[in-house]
């Protein structure tokens, strides 16, 4: 074992410099680290902000505090100061008291065996799984998973695969997730304007959202970032309406230049407040350095989206038809391989609709059946 003892200071320093000792016989490691530092730090464009302490500000703050204390002393006088001192002392003593053991020992420890867990039964139409008699899935034309769970609500998630989108089209995904809930809808030949859509959607659902990745946010991908998630939650008696809303949002939304521009403007304006969060900025930079340019994670970052959304507003003024065609192309690609995940209490919802699977059989428009139809699992 190496001895770190010596009566010579420079020997002690040398012995304790473990990093230097480690890399002394590994010059390739040093070169590799230096190359990385040059590539990602020293040779990259950067901004340095130098903050210098202000002596003038220090004097002014000290003077302000001194005057505040003097005014407080004059206002309270000797008796008041004595009273405040006693209050502070009592508060300090109370704050420093340790909690009695009885506070913990009096808490009853529950019996783990008596914990009631939610029962969950899962069925799907693309792998062999248990069947739920009241909700057969065999004739539903897209990949479908059903979770039968004790709940008073219905939650449906449409998962749309963005794998086939081009790098340029991926930048439109955050806008797509926002605008599908704020655009006119063509239902049974009747055009419903965006204001009525928003009003009815809020009345018929508990919540609705769209994001890139499962559980993502406006400018941050969730897990499985290649997927676009459209989620609706509604009460059991709104089962049929909820399904119709999801169908309308995915297939019948009418993109317009006006709505795209307004939503893009709102999204761009919201970025300023996000950039004031140091954590969010650092996270954005970290993800941008970690992942390949043009993937969903980098394309949806707030820094890239800020530039993209501003440019898009100009494009909508100059050539809105081109942008509208891009949005339609993205919608067609995303809905070509549809996956649905539905969570509800089958016995309870079956009282609202006797044939729970019926609205799903006609969920996918006929013109898209050729791309979404799946091979049924035998057995």
Summarised one tens digit per residue, pLDDT across range 325-377 is 999 999 999 999 899 999 999 999 998 888 899 999 999 988 777 655 555 54
Query: Both 163 and 281 in a single domain?
Result: yes
92 occurs within a structural domain: no
pLDDT at 379: 39
Regarding predicted confidence, which is higher, 1 or 252? 252
Query: Both 31 and 128 in a single domain?
Result: no
The domain that holds 166 is classified in CATH as 3.30.830.10
Which region among 74-78, 95-99, 145-149 has the lowest average model confidence (pLDDT)? 95-99
What is the pLDDT confidence band of residue 115, given thresholds at 50, 70 and 90?
confident
Query: Both 189 and 314 in a single domain?
Result: yes
Instruction: Tell me the C-alpha distance between 14 and 30, whole Å.
Output: 18
265 occurs within a structural domain: yes
Instruction: Tell me the C-alpha distance between 91 and 78, whole Å.
Output: 20
In this structure, the chain runs to a length of 379
pLDDT at 378: 43
140 occurs within a structural domain: yes
What does the pLDDT look like over 42-90, one tens digit per residue? 777 878 788 888 889 889 999 999 999 999 999 999 899 999 999 999 9
pLDDT at 112: 86
**Percent of the chain whose pLDDT exceeds 90:** 59
Strands (E), 82-142: 120-124
User: Which residue, chain included where needed, has tokens 């010059």?
Assistant: 27
Query: Both 190 and 338 in a single domain?
Result: yes
What is the pLDDT confidence band of residue 127, given thresholds at 50, 70 and 90?
confident
pLDDT at 1: 43
pTM equals: 0.68
Query: Both 201 and 350 in a single domain?
Result: yes
**Most confident segment among 16-25, 55-64, 191-200:** 191-200
Q: Is the pLDDT of residue 144 over 80?
A: yes
Query: Both 35 and 159 in a single domain?
Result: no
Instruction: Tell me the C-alpha distance between 181 and 113, whole Å.
Output: 45
Helix and strand totals (H; E) in the chain: 17, 8
In this structure, the strands spanning 338-344 and 143-149 are parallel
Query: Both 140 and 17 in a single domain?
Result: no
Query: Both 16 and 142 in a single domain?
Result: no
127 occurs within a structural domain: yes
89 occurs within a structural domain: no
347 occurs within a structural domain: yes
110 occurs within a structural domain: no
Query: Both 23 and 131 in a single domain?
Result: no
196 occurs within a structural domain: yes
Domain containing 32: what range? 9-42
Count of domains forming the chain: 2
Residue 183 DSSP SS3: coil
105 CA to centre of own chain: 41
Mean pLDDT over the full length of the chain: 87
């Amino acid at each position: 074992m190496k001895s770190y003892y010596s009566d010579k200071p420079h020997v002690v320093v040398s012995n304790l410099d473990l990093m230097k000792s480690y890399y002394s016989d590994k010059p390739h490691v040093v070169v590799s680290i230096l190359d990385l530092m040059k590539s990602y730090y020293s040779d990259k464009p950067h901004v340095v902000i130098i903050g210098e302490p202000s002596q003038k500000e220090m004097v002014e703050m000290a003077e302000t505090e001194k005057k505040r204390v003097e005014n407080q002393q004059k206002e309270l006088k000797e008796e008041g100061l004595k009273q405040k001192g006693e209050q502070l002392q009592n508060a300090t003593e109370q704050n420093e008291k340790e909690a009695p053991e009885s506070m913990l020992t009096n808490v009853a420890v529950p019996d783990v065996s008596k914990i009631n867990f939610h029962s969950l039964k899962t069925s799907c139409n693309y792998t062999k799984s248990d069947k739920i008699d009241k909700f057969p899935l065999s004739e539903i034309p897209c990949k479908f998973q059903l979770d039968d769970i004790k709940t008073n609500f219905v939650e449906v998630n449409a998962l749309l695969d963005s794998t086939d989108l081009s790098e340029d089209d991926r930048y439109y995904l955050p806008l797509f997730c926002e605008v599908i809930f704020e655009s006119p809808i063509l239902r049974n030949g009747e055009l419903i304007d965006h204001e009525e859509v928003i009003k009815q959607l809020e009345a018929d659902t508990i919540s609705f959202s769209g994001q890139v990745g499962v559980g993502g946010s406006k400018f941050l991908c969730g897990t499985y970032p290649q997927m676009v998630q459209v989620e609706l939650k509604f009460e059991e008696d709104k089962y049929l309406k909820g399904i119709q809303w999801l169908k309308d949002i995915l297939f019948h939304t009418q993109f317009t230049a006006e709505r795209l521009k307004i939503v893009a403007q709102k999204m761009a304006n919201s970025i300023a407040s996000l950039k004031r969060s140091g954590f969010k900025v650092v996270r954005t930079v970290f993800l941008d350095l970690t992942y390949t340019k043009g993937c969903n994670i980098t394309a949806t970052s707030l820094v890239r989206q800020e530039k993209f959304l501003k440019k898009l507003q100009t494009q909508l003024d100059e050539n809105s038809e081109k942008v509208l065609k891009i949005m339609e192309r993205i919608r067609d690609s995303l809905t070509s391989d549809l996956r649905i995940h539905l969570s509800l209490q089958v016995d309870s919802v079956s009282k609202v609709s006797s044939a729970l699977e019926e609205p799903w059989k006609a969920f996918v428009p006929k013109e898209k059946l050729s791309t979404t139809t799946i091979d049924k699992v035998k057995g």
